[in-house]
Structure 1
Amino acid sequence: MSKSPDQNGIGYLIADLSRLFGRVFDRRSAHLGLTRVQWRALKRIHSSQGVTQAELADLLDMEPIAVGRVIDRLQKSGFVERRNDPNDRRCWRLHLSPQSGQVMDPIEAVAASVREDSVAGIDPQQLQAALKVLMQIRENLSQLDRASRGESSLRKG
């Protein structure tokens, strides 16, 4: 059974959207001195104060060693504090420092402007329909990921 061109290209299209979104974000936020990965880490730490580096790596879908380097840079810049875990001396808990407030609002404004500009000219109903489809694709892929690494399928018949 042949697939429509739309089905064949959806993965590439989603990857292109992500890449382009990131590129525009990076250019617009360059004056703030934060990379996209650093911003994502700050956002996750903000929403989960006290998260461990291992938990953060999981949330960001990154290797722990790479997250460690990101946190090193954020700590050196004064945006993140590593604090001892009171229950486990081997573990560090991550918290935003007061200085992080200097970049949180401006970088969020950049993110909001990129999101807003990226959907310019799209009918709100069409956008809602597209988002619904993308959320269903995400759910399908999440189910497949949780299953036995691709051996299951959501296809019927």
Structure 2
Amino acid sequence: MPFSPDTSAGYLINDLARRFAAALQAQIKPMGLSTGVFPIMVQLWEKDGLTQAELVRLVGIEQATMANTLARMQRDGLIERRRSDADGRVQENRLTEKGKGLHVPAIEAALAVNKSALSGLSPEERDQFLGLLSKAIQTFDSEEQLQRSPRVQLPTD
């Protein structure tokens, strides 16, 4: 079957994600946030004091990218990095008052973007769409599925 952007789940999801990110960026940029920082802030709003390793696992970005992003967040006054009382070898990332204060307006902005993006769907379609997306994500998370995934053979010269 030939590739077509109109029938490729990956292409369509990537396009939708890009549009979501652009709309969210427009809303949160005046707050001093970016779409790169937003998922980290969401995790810290849910559980303040996470370590860099925990954030890497939860957000799903590379260790080096996380280190650079956390350094920028510290520079921008969103977080403080402190040695853990429980384990002095690790640093906890704690929200500053500025970071805590952005919780409500940033989440409201994200909810508004979601509402706008899904406004063309009925409540039933929205629930089905979100359920199917979650199911596809769970499939990727399944180790068994990863082992069954066909491997692409690259041409050799």
TM-score, structure 2 length as denominator? 0.83
TM-score, structure 1 length as denominator? 0.83
Structure 1 runs not aligned, ≥5 long: none
Match for residue 81 of structure 1?
80
Match for residue 147 of structure 1?
144
Contact conserved, 2:80 with 2:96, CA < 8 A, in 1? Answer: yes
Q: RMSD of aligned C-alpha atoms?
A: 2.3
Q: Name the CA distance, whole Å, in 2 between partners of 1:39 and 1:79.
A: 11
SS in 1 for 2:147: coil
1:141, distance to aligned residue in structure 2 (A): 1.8
> In the TM superposition, what whole-angstrom CA distance separates every residue of 1:22-51 from its partner, at most 9, and x where no partner exists?
011112222112111212111111212221
1:114, distance to aligned residue in structure 2 (A): 0.2
After superposition, residues 4-153 of structure 1 pair within 5 angstroms as: 8-143=7-142, 146-147=143-144, 150-152=146-148
Aligned length: 149
- Give the ranges of 4+ consecutive aligned residues of structure 1 lying more than 3 Å apart after TM superposition: 5-8
Q: Name the CA distance, whole Å, in 1 between partners of 2:148 and 2:110.
A: 36
SS in 2 for 1:36: coil
Structure 2 runs not aligned, ≥5 long: 150-157
Contact conserved, 1:46 with 1:95, CA < 8 A, in 2? Answer: no
